Structure 1
Amino acid sequence: MNNNLTVIERDGQLLVDSREVKDMLNIRHSDLLEKIDGYLSVLHQNGKFRSDQFFIESSYQAGTGKPYKHYYLTRKGCDMVANKMNGTKGVLFTAHYVTQFEEMEKELKQPQTELEVLAATVNNMVQQEKRITVIENEQKRIFDLIGLNPSNWRKEINKIIRLIAKESGLSHSAVWSESYKTLETRGKCNLRRRLDNKRNNMKKEGASKTKVEKANFMDIIDEDPKLTEIFLAIVKDMAVKYKVTLKKETA
C-alpha cells in the first residue's frame, strides 16, 4: 500500500485526490471511479444529500493532453469508500486518511504570522459578539412573551396562535389542537366533557341555540382561573418552541 496521501484545502473544504486514494488502496483508478459513480448515483436518487459533501468531480490532463476524470474526496467521501472495504486495506486506509485530515486541520488552526494571529483574534471577537446578540434577542423575545397581560389574555393568545401557525407552517386548527391537548395533560381535565356540561346548563337556563353553539373551549378555560394560568404558560412555551415574537404581528 502506498502511504502517500496529501490533504489539500479548497474553498474551506479538506480534500484528497482519487488518484492518490487508488494508489493507497492498490486498485485501478477506473475501478475506484466506477465505485464513486455508483455512490453518487444513489445519493442523487435519494435527493437528501449534496453530492459535493462527499465527492467533487474534476479533470486532469495526461501526457497526450486529453482530459481525464478524477474526484476529490471529502472526509465524508473517504468514510464512504472505507466503509465499503473489508480487511486490512480498509483499516489501513482509514488510519491514514483520518491521520492526514487531523494533521491538516491542526495546521490550519495554527496562525502562522502576527497578522494571522490578529485576524484570528478579531474573528473570535466577532463570533462572540454574534453569540451574545443572539442570546440577548432570545431573552428579550421570552421577556415579551412573559409580559402577556392576563386581563386581555384571549386577544393576545389568538395573536400568538396566529404567529405560531405562520412560523411553523401548521394550520391554525393544528396549533389550537396542540395547545388544548397539552392543557388537558397538564391541567388533568377533559375540555370536551366540560364544554358539553356547560352547553347543557345553558340550554336548561334558556340560552338561545346560537349562543349555546358559540360556547367553546376558550370559555371553559376563561371560567377557571387555574386553567387560565396553565394555558397562558402553555402558549408561552409553544411560542418559544416555534421561535415567534409578538413584534412580528402586523395585523
Structure 2
Amino acid sequence: MARIKPQALLLQSKKKKGPTRIGASTIVLCNLVVALIVLSIMATYRHWYKRSMDQTEDGKSTFEGTDVRTFVDLKKYDLPGYAILNTSKGYITIELYKESSPEIVDRFLDLCQKGYFKGMPFNHVIKNYVIQGGEYQGLGAAEELISHAKLHLQLGTSPKHEAFMLGTSKTRLDSKGFDLFITTAPIPDMNDKLTVFGRVIKGEDVVQEIEEVDTDEHYRPKSSVGIINVALKREI
C-alpha cells in the first residue's frame, strides 16, 4: 500500500473544510425573487392607500353639504340666464330668474330646447295690461282674462306686478302646457294667478308695438303676431 505524503493530506483537508461556492445564476435568481417581493408589497400598499382615500372623499361628499351645494351652484351657473324671443315685430330679450323661480325656469328652458314656443301666436293682446301667448286655460278660459283686464282698467289699484315682466299662469304648472304672459303695465289683480320668472331687459319698444296691434272685441289680434323662435344665452 502506497503511503500518502503529509502535504497531500493537508490539501485534501482544506478541500473538505472550505466553503461551498455559489454560482452566478443562483445569485441573479435570488435578487429577482427579492425584487418581486418588494414590488408586490409596494403595489399592495398603494392599492389600499388609494382605496382609503377614495372612501374618505366619498364620505365627505355624502355627509358634508358643502360639496353638494357647490355642485348645485355650478349647475345653476351653467344654465342659460337669458332668452331672446324672436317675434314677428322684433326681438325681446328676457332675463330669467334662475334663483327665485328655478323649477319654472328649468321647465321653460326644456320646452325652448324642444321647440315648444316656435311659432307660438299671441292669442290675446290687451293694451295697458298683458300680452298672452299659448293655450290659455289657467284662469278658466279667455273670458276670465278679459274680465280681469276690464276690472283692472276701471279701478287702477296699486300694482303688484311691474310692467314688462314675463310670467306663466300658476294653475298650468302641473300640466303639460305652458303659456306666456308679458305684462305691459303694472297689474294688481293677477298676483295670485301669475308666476313671474323673468323680465324684459331689451325690446320694450317691441312689446309696445305688439300691444298696439288691432284686436277684436275679445282682444284677439286681427293679424297674426307671435313668436318665431327662441334663442337661449348664458351671457349677453
TM-score normalised by structure 2 residue count: 0.25
Specify which structure has the higher proportion of strand: 2
Q: Which has the larger radius of gyration?
A: 2
Specify which structure has the higher proportion of helix: 1
